[in-house]
Amino acid sequence: MLDPEQQILHSTPAQSGTEKNEGKSANHIQMALNENPFGPSPQVLEAIGNAAVKSNYYPDNLQLELREILAHKTGVRPEEVLITAGSAAFLEIAAHTLLFPGANAVTSARSYIMYRIVTEAAGANLIKAPIFQNTFDLDAIHTLLNPETRVVFIANPNNPTGTIIEPCALERFLDRLPEHVSVVIDEAYYDFADYFARVRGREYSRSLDYVRQGRNVLVLRSFSKVHSLAGLRIGYGIASDRMMRRFAQRRMRFSVSNVAAAAALAALADTEHVQKTLENNTTGAEWLKKEVEDSGVAATTTWGNFLYLETGDSADSLANRIEKYGIIVRPLTDWGAPTALRVTIGTPAQNEQFATALSKARKTHC
Ligand SMILES: *Cc1c(COP(=O)(O)O)cnc(C)c1O
Protein backbone atom coordinates (compact mmCIF):
# COMPACT_ATOMS: atom_id res chain seq x y z
CA MET A 1 0.00 0.00 0.00
CA LEU A 2 1.16 3.49 -0.79
CA ASP A 3 1.92 5.56 2.25
CA PRO A 4 -0.42 8.57 2.04
CA GLU A 5 1.92 10.84 3.99
CA GLN A 6 4.81 9.98 1.71
CA GLN A 7 2.64 10.32 -1.36
CA ILE A 8 1.87 13.94 -0.60
CA LEU A 9 5.45 14.78 0.25
CA HIS A 10 6.93 13.10 -2.80
CA SER A 11 4.60 13.56 -5.69
CA THR A 12 6.96 12.12 -8.30
CA PRO A 13 7.46 8.33 -8.19
CA ALA A 14 11.22 8.66 -8.57
CA GLN A 15 11.46 10.54 -5.27
CA SER A 16 9.34 8.21 -3.25
CA GLY A 17 10.90 5.59 -1.07
CA THR A 18 7.70 3.65 -0.49
CA GLU A 19 5.87 3.50 -3.79
CA LYS A 20 7.44 0.15 -4.40
CA ASN A 21 5.19 -1.05 -1.58
CA GLU A 22 2.21 -0.59 -3.81
CA GLY A 23 0.81 -3.88 -5.05
CA LYS A 24 3.29 -5.76 -2.93
CA SER A 25 1.34 -5.39 0.26
CA ALA A 26 -0.79 -8.46 -0.48
CA ASN A 27 2.10 -10.70 0.55
CA HIS A 28 3.56 -8.28 3.07
CA ILE A 29 2.44 -7.56 6.61
CA GLN A 30 1.50 -3.89 6.71
CA MET A 31 2.73 -2.40 10.01
CA ALA A 32 3.46 1.10 8.75
CA LEU A 33 0.15 2.98 8.96
CA ASN A 34 -1.29 2.22 12.41
CA GLU A 35 -4.25 0.34 11.00
CA ASN A 36 -6.30 -2.16 12.98
CA PRO A 37 -4.85 -5.65 12.39
CA PHE A 38 -8.22 -7.36 12.91
CA GLY A 39 -10.16 -5.60 10.16
CA PRO A 40 -13.80 -4.54 10.48
CA SER A 41 -15.99 -6.86 12.55
CA PRO A 42 -18.71 -9.07 10.97
CA GLN A 43 -21.41 -6.69 12.28
CA VAL A 44 -19.70 -3.76 10.55
CA LEU A 45 -19.38 -5.72 7.30
CA GLU A 46 -23.08 -6.54 7.48
CA ALA A 47 -23.95 -2.87 8.02
CA ILE A 48 -21.73 -1.93 5.08
CA GLY A 49 -23.56 -4.45 2.88
CA ASN A 50 -26.96 -3.14 3.92
CA ALA A 51 -25.92 0.46 3.31
CA ALA A 52 -24.31 -0.38 -0.03
CA VAL A 53 -27.70 -1.46 -1.38
CA LYS A 54 -28.85 2.15 -0.90
CA SER A 55 -25.85 3.70 -2.65
CA ASN A 56 -28.12 5.25 -5.29
CA TYR A 57 -29.35 7.70 -2.61
CA TYR A 58 -27.39 10.67 -1.31
CA PRO A 59 -26.33 10.31 2.31
CA ASP A 60 -27.89 12.36 5.11
CA ASN A 61 -25.80 15.50 4.76
CA LEU A 62 -26.29 16.37 8.45
CA GLN A 63 -25.44 12.85 9.69
CA LEU A 64 -27.97 13.40 12.48
CA GLU A 65 -28.09 9.86 13.84
CA LEU A 66 -24.33 9.51 14.16
CA ARG A 67 -23.93 13.00 15.62
CA GLU A 68 -26.59 12.34 18.24
CA ILE A 69 -24.95 9.09 19.31
CA LEU A 70 -21.49 10.69 19.47
CA ALA A 71 -22.86 13.69 21.35
CA HIS A 72 -24.54 11.41 23.86
CA LYS A 73 -21.39 9.32 24.25
CA THR A 74 -19.12 12.33 24.76
CA GLY A 75 -21.47 14.54 26.79
CA VAL A 76 -21.74 17.42 24.33
CA ARG A 77 -24.61 18.68 22.16
CA PRO A 78 -25.15 17.39 18.58
CA GLU A 79 -24.44 20.94 17.28
CA GLU A 80 -20.96 20.56 18.75
CA VAL A 81 -20.15 17.48 16.64
CA LEU A 82 -19.24 17.54 12.95
CA ILE A 83 -18.57 14.40 10.89
CA THR A 84 -15.95 14.58 8.15
CA ALA A 85 -14.30 12.23 5.66
CA GLY A 86 -11.58 11.20 8.11
CA SER A 87 -10.04 13.51 10.66
CA ALA A 88 -7.57 14.54 7.96
CA ALA A 89 -10.49 16.26 6.23
CA PHE A 90 -11.27 18.10 9.46
CA LEU A 91 -7.65 19.21 9.77
CA GLU A 92 -7.93 20.67 6.29
CA ILE A 93 -11.22 22.41 7.15
CA ALA A 94 -9.74 23.81 10.37
CA ALA A 95 -6.66 25.09 8.55
CA HIS A 96 -8.72 26.77 5.82
CA THR A 97 -11.07 28.30 8.39
CA LEU A 98 -8.49 29.60 10.85
CA LEU A 99 -5.38 30.24 8.74
CA PHE A 100 -4.58 32.53 5.81
CA PRO A 101 -1.44 33.82 4.02
CA GLY A 102 0.69 35.65 6.58
CA ALA A 103 -0.70 33.70 9.52
CA ASN A 104 1.07 30.81 11.18
CA ALA A 105 0.38 27.62 13.09
CA VAL A 106 2.64 26.19 15.78
CA THR A 107 3.26 22.55 16.60
CA SER A 108 6.10 20.33 17.81
CA ALA A 109 8.94 18.89 15.80
CA ARG A 110 8.44 15.19 15.21
CA SER A 111 4.67 15.31 15.17
CA TYR A 112 2.00 14.41 12.63
CA ILE A 113 3.07 15.27 9.08
CA MET A 114 -0.43 16.35 8.05
CA TYR A 115 -0.19 19.55 10.16
CA ARG A 116 2.38 20.95 7.76
CA ILE A 117 0.47 19.85 4.69
CA VAL A 118 -2.82 21.51 5.72
CA THR A 119 -1.12 24.66 7.04
CA GLU A 120 0.78 25.19 3.81
CA ALA A 121 -2.31 24.40 1.74
CA ALA A 122 -3.98 27.33 3.53
CA GLY A 123 -1.05 29.58 2.55
CA ALA A 124 0.23 29.86 6.13
CA ASN A 125 3.51 28.85 7.81
CA LEU A 126 4.03 26.00 10.23
CA ILE A 127 6.43 26.77 13.07
CA LYS A 128 7.84 23.81 14.99
CA ALA A 129 9.03 23.90 18.58
CA PRO A 130 11.75 21.44 19.53
CA ILE A 131 10.52 18.20 21.03
CA PHE A 132 11.63 17.41 24.58
CA GLN A 133 12.18 13.77 25.58
CA ASN A 134 9.90 12.64 22.74
CA THR A 135 7.04 14.73 24.20
CA PHE A 136 5.43 18.03 23.19
CA ASP A 137 7.19 20.89 25.00
CA LEU A 138 4.30 23.26 25.70
CA ASP A 139 6.56 25.96 27.20
CA ALA A 140 8.65 25.97 24.02
CA ILE A 141 5.46 26.17 21.96
CA HIS A 142 4.21 29.06 24.08
CA THR A 143 7.36 31.11 23.48
CA LEU A 144 6.86 30.72 19.70
CA LEU A 145 3.34 32.19 19.67
CA ASN A 146 3.16 35.60 18.01
CA PRO A 147 0.42 38.00 16.86
CA GLU A 148 0.12 36.09 13.56
CA THR A 149 -0.41 32.70 15.25
CA ARG A 150 -3.93 31.37 14.83
CA VAL A 151 -3.59 27.65 15.52
CA VAL A 152 -1.64 25.26 17.73
CA PHE A 153 -1.72 21.63 16.61
CA ILE A 154 -1.34 19.11 19.42
CA ALA A 155 -1.33 15.36 18.76
CA ASN A 156 -2.27 13.61 21.98
CA PRO A 157 -1.03 10.87 21.93
CA ASN A 158 1.66 12.10 19.59
CA ASN A 159 2.25 10.37 16.30
CA PRO A 160 5.00 9.10 15.86
CA THR A 161 6.47 9.14 19.40
CA GLY A 162 3.40 7.71 21.19
CA THR A 163 3.68 10.04 24.20
CA ILE A 164 0.85 11.99 25.89
CA ILE A 165 0.56 15.37 27.54
CA GLU A 166 -0.74 15.32 31.11
CA PRO A 167 -4.07 17.17 31.54
CA CYS A 168 -2.62 19.60 34.11
CA ALA A 169 0.21 20.64 31.79
CA LEU A 170 -2.25 21.13 28.94
CA GLU A 171 -4.55 23.22 31.16
CA ARG A 172 -1.73 25.50 32.26
CA PHE A 173 -0.94 26.00 28.58
CA LEU A 174 -4.57 26.72 27.64
CA ASP A 175 -4.95 29.14 30.56
CA ARG A 176 -2.27 31.45 29.23
CA LEU A 177 -3.19 31.21 25.58
CA PRO A 178 -3.98 34.48 23.78
CA GLU A 179 -7.59 34.92 22.56
CA HIS A 180 -6.57 34.83 18.87
CA VAL A 181 -5.13 31.30 19.06
CA SER A 182 -7.22 28.12 18.67
CA VAL A 183 -5.93 24.73 19.74
CA VAL A 184 -6.54 21.58 17.73
CA ILE A 185 -6.25 18.59 20.06
CA ASP A 186 -5.86 15.60 17.78
CA GLU A 187 -7.03 12.50 19.63
CA ALA A 188 -6.94 9.96 16.80
CA TYR A 189 -5.68 7.37 19.30
CA TYR A 190 -8.14 8.36 22.03
CA ASP A 191 -9.47 4.87 22.82
CA PHE A 192 -6.01 3.33 23.05
CA ALA A 193 -4.73 6.09 25.34
CA ASP A 194 -7.87 6.02 27.48
CA TYR A 195 -7.47 2.27 27.92
CA PHE A 196 -3.77 2.54 28.74
CA ALA A 197 -4.60 5.25 31.29
CA ARG A 198 -7.02 2.92 33.09
CA VAL A 199 -4.53 0.04 33.05
CA ARG A 200 -1.68 2.28 34.23
CA GLY A 201 -3.70 4.22 36.80
CA ARG A 202 -2.97 7.52 35.11
CA GLU A 203 -5.13 10.30 33.75
CA TYR A 204 -5.08 10.94 30.01
CA SER A 205 -7.45 13.60 28.68
CA ARG A 206 -9.99 16.21 29.80
CA SER A 207 -10.30 17.62 26.30
CA LEU A 208 -14.11 17.61 26.20
CA ASP A 209 -14.24 19.72 29.36
CA TYR A 210 -12.40 22.46 27.45
CA VAL A 211 -15.08 22.37 24.74
CA ARG A 212 -17.84 22.54 27.39
CA GLN A 213 -16.02 25.47 29.01
CA GLY A 214 -16.26 27.30 25.70
CA ARG A 215 -12.51 27.49 25.11
CA ASN A 216 -11.02 27.87 21.63
CA VAL A 217 -10.44 24.16 21.35
CA LEU A 218 -11.24 21.66 18.60
CA VAL A 219 -10.99 17.99 19.56
CA LEU A 220 -10.50 15.54 16.68
CA ARG A 221 -11.29 11.84 16.78
CA SER A 222 -11.17 9.17 14.10
CA PHE A 223 -12.83 5.92 13.10
CA SER A 224 -9.63 4.85 11.31
CA LYS A 225 -7.79 3.32 14.21
CA VAL A 226 -9.56 1.36 16.93
CA HIS A 227 -12.74 1.08 14.82
CA SER A 228 -10.95 -0.42 11.78
CA LEU A 229 -12.41 1.96 9.18
CA ALA A 230 -9.33 3.71 7.73
CA GLY A 231 -10.35 2.84 4.16
CA LEU A 232 -13.85 4.30 4.49
CA ARG A 233 -12.66 7.78 5.53
CA ILE A 234 -14.71 8.90 8.51
CA GLY A 235 -13.83 10.93 11.58
CA TYR A 236 -15.26 13.80 13.60
CA GLY A 237 -14.53 16.92 15.53
CA ILE A 238 -15.98 18.34 18.73
CA ALA A 239 -15.95 22.08 19.37
CA SER A 240 -18.21 24.77 20.76
CA ASP A 241 -21.27 25.67 18.71
CA ARG A 242 -19.65 29.04 17.97
CA MET A 243 -16.54 27.45 16.43
CA MET A 244 -18.42 24.61 14.78
CA ARG A 245 -20.69 26.92 12.79
CA ARG A 246 -17.60 28.27 11.02
CA PHE A 247 -16.17 24.81 10.33
CA ALA A 248 -19.50 23.45 9.09
CA GLN A 249 -19.63 26.10 6.36
CA ARG A 250 -16.34 24.79 4.97
CA ARG A 251 -17.35 21.16 4.87
CA MET A 252 -18.17 19.78 1.43
CA ARG A 253 -21.80 18.68 1.22
CA PHE A 254 -22.34 14.89 1.13
CA SER A 255 -18.62 14.27 1.67
CA VAL A 256 -19.29 11.47 4.17
CA SER A 257 -20.80 8.46 2.40
CA ASN A 258 -23.81 6.51 3.62
CA VAL A 259 -21.62 3.40 3.74
CA ALA A 260 -19.02 5.08 5.96
CA ALA A 261 -21.71 6.45 8.29
CA ALA A 262 -23.43 3.06 8.58
CA ALA A 263 -20.10 1.38 9.26
CA ALA A 264 -19.27 3.94 11.95
CA LEU A 265 -22.62 3.40 13.67
CA ALA A 266 -22.12 -0.37 13.65
CA ALA A 267 -18.50 -0.02 14.83
CA LEU A 268 -19.59 2.13 17.78
CA ALA A 269 -22.18 -0.47 18.73
CA ASP A 270 -19.69 -3.34 18.53
CA THR A 271 -18.00 -2.78 21.87
CA GLU A 272 -16.69 -6.36 21.85
CA HIS A 273 -14.52 -5.71 18.78
CA VAL A 274 -13.22 -2.50 20.32
CA GLN A 275 -12.42 -4.31 23.56
CA LYS A 276 -10.62 -7.11 21.70
CA THR A 277 -8.55 -4.53 19.81
CA LEU A 278 -7.68 -2.61 22.99
CA GLU A 279 -6.68 -5.72 24.93
CA ASN A 280 -4.59 -7.03 22.04
CA ASN A 281 -2.92 -3.66 21.67
CA THR A 282 -2.06 -3.26 25.32
CA THR A 283 -0.62 -6.78 25.61
CA GLY A 284 1.14 -6.45 22.25
CA ALA A 285 2.69 -3.07 23.06
CA GLU A 286 4.14 -4.40 26.29
CA TRP A 287 5.40 -7.62 24.71
CA LEU A 288 6.94 -5.89 21.68
CA LYS A 289 8.61 -3.14 23.71
CA LYS A 290 10.34 -5.70 25.89
CA GLU A 291 11.27 -7.85 22.92
CA VAL A 292 12.91 -5.02 20.94
CA GLU A 293 14.60 -3.64 24.05
CA ASP A 294 16.10 -7.07 24.75
CA SER A 295 17.62 -6.89 21.28
CA GLY A 296 19.14 -3.45 21.98
CA VAL A 297 16.57 -1.08 20.40
CA ALA A 298 15.02 1.65 22.56
CA ALA A 299 11.22 2.00 22.50
CA THR A 300 9.09 4.71 24.09
CA THR A 301 6.16 3.67 26.28
CA THR A 302 3.31 4.07 23.84
CA TRP A 303 -0.19 5.40 24.43
CA GLY A 304 -1.30 4.50 20.89
CA ASN A 305 -1.33 1.42 18.64
CA PHE A 306 2.28 1.79 17.53
CA LEU A 307 5.80 1.83 18.93
CA TYR A 308 8.45 4.48 18.31
CA LEU A 309 11.83 2.78 18.02
CA GLU A 310 15.24 4.43 18.27
CA THR A 311 17.40 1.99 16.33
CA GLY A 312 20.74 3.78 16.22
CA ASP A 313 20.89 2.75 12.56
CA SER A 314 19.79 4.39 9.30
CA ALA A 315 16.01 3.98 9.49
CA ASP A 316 15.55 3.95 5.70
CA SER A 317 18.07 1.20 5.22
CA LEU A 318 16.80 -0.79 8.19
CA ALA A 319 13.19 -0.52 6.99
CA ASN A 320 14.28 -1.85 3.58
CA ARG A 321 16.02 -4.78 5.17
CA ILE A 322 12.97 -5.50 7.36
CA GLU A 323 10.82 -5.42 4.25
CA LYS A 324 12.88 -8.27 2.81
CA TYR A 325 11.47 -10.36 5.65
CA GLY A 326 7.95 -9.44 4.54
CA ILE A 327 7.08 -6.59 6.90
CA ILE A 328 6.48 -2.95 6.06
CA VAL A 329 7.28 -0.41 8.80
CA ARG A 330 7.63 3.38 8.73
CA PRO A 331 11.12 4.92 8.74
CA LEU A 332 10.89 8.42 10.25
CA THR A 333 13.65 10.16 8.29
CA ASP A 334 11.27 12.72 6.78
CA TRP A 335 9.81 13.39 10.26
CA GLY A 336 13.26 14.56 11.36
CA ALA A 337 14.20 11.28 13.05
CA PRO A 338 16.60 9.50 10.63
CA THR A 339 17.35 6.62 13.00
CA ALA A 340 13.80 6.00 14.21
CA LEU A 341 11.12 3.58 13.05
CA ARG A 342 7.41 3.51 13.79
CA VAL A 343 5.80 0.09 13.90
CA THR A 344 2.11 -0.64 14.34
CA ILE A 345 1.18 -3.14 17.06
CA GLY A 346 -0.22 -6.16 15.22
CA THR A 347 -1.68 -9.50 16.15
CA PRO A 348 0.55 -11.63 18.40
CA ALA A 349 1.78 -13.55 15.33
CA GLN A 350 2.58 -10.34 13.44
CA ASN A 351 4.41 -8.90 16.44
CA GLU A 352 6.54 -12.04 16.67
CA GLN A 353 7.32 -11.91 12.96
CA PHE A 354 8.32 -8.27 13.27
CA ALA A 355 10.56 -8.91 16.28
CA THR A 356 12.30 -11.70 14.38
CA ALA A 357 12.63 -9.58 11.24
CA LEU A 358 14.04 -6.64 13.20
CA SER A 359 16.61 -8.77 14.90
CA LYS A 360 17.69 -10.43 11.62
CA ALA A 361 17.70 -7.13 9.74
CA ARG A 362 19.91 -5.52 12.38
CA LYS A 363 22.50 -8.24 11.79
CA THR A 364 22.64 -7.74 8.01
CA HIS A 365 23.99 -4.60 6.40
CA CYS A 366 22.99 -4.26 2.78
C1 LIG B 1 -4.11 8.29 12.05
C2 LIG B 1 -4.15 9.69 12.50
C3 LIG B 1 -5.25 10.48 12.23
C4 LIG B 1 -6.47 9.87 11.58
O5 LIG B 1 -6.61 10.26 10.30
P6 LIG B 1 -7.93 9.92 9.51
O7 LIG B 1 -7.95 10.97 8.49
O8 LIG B 1 -9.10 10.00 10.45
O9 LIG B 1 -7.75 8.55 8.95
C10 LIG B 1 -5.27 11.79 12.68
N11 LIG B 1 -4.25 12.27 13.40
C12 LIG B 1 -3.19 11.54 13.71
C13 LIG B 1 -2.11 12.10 14.56
C14 LIG B 1 -3.10 10.23 13.24
O15 LIG B 1 -2.01 9.50 13.52
Digit-by-digit pLDDT tens for the chain (366 residues) are 444 554 444 443 333 334 344 445 678 999 999 999 999 999 999 999 999 999 999 999 999 999 999 999 999 999 999 999 999 999 999 999 999 999 999 999 999 999 999 999 999 999 999 999 999 999 999 999 999 999 999 999 999 999 999 999 999 999 999 999 999 999 999 999 999 999 999 999 999 999 999 999 999 999 999 999 999 999 999 999 999 999 999 999 999 999 999 999 999 999 999 999 999 999 999 999 999 999 899 999 999 999 999 999 999 999 999 999 999 999 999 999 999 999 999 999 999 999 999 999 999 865
Q: Which atom of ligand 1 is nearest to the CA of 155?
A: 13
Distance 100 CA to ligand 1 centre (A): 23
Distance 88 CA to ligand 1 centre (A): 6
Instruction: Classify 283 in phi/psi space as left (phi over 0), alpha (psi -120 to 50) or beta.
Output: alpha
Tell me which long-range contacts 85-88 makes (C-beta under 8 A, separation of at least 24): 85/233, 85/234, 85/235, 85/252, 85/255, 85/256, 85/260, 86/222, 86/224, 86/233, 86/234, 86/235, 87/186, 87/188, 87/220, 87/221, 87/222, 87/224, 87/235, 87/236, 87/237, 88/114, 88/118, 88/235
Distance 288 CA to ligand 1 centre (A): 23
Distance 315 CA to ligand 1 centre (A): 22
CB-CB contact of 201 with 346 (8 Å): no
- Ligand 1-lining residues (CB < 6 angstroms): 34, 86-88, 112, 155, 159, 186, 188, 222, 224-225, 230, 235
Tell me which long-range contacts 98-104 makes (C-beta under 8 A, separation of at least 24): 98/150, 98/151, 98/182, 99/123, 99/124, 99/150, 99/151, 100/124, 100/150, 102/148, 103/148, 103/149, 103/150, 104/146, 104/148, 104/149, 104/150
Q: What is this structure's pTM?
A: 0.94
> To test ligand 1's pocket by mutation, which of 110, 116, 156, 186 has the most ligand atoms within 8 angstroms of CB?
186
Q: Which atom of ligand 1 is nearest to the CA of 33?
A: 1
**Amino acid, single-letter form, for residue 233:** R
3-class DSSP assignment, residue 143: helix
Distance 53 CA to ligand 1 centre (A): 29
**Amino acid, single-letter form, for residue 72:** H
First to last CA, the chain: 24
Q: Which atom of ligand 1 is nearest to the CA of 304?
A: 15
The protein residue with its alpha carbon nearest to ligand 1, atom 2, reads 188
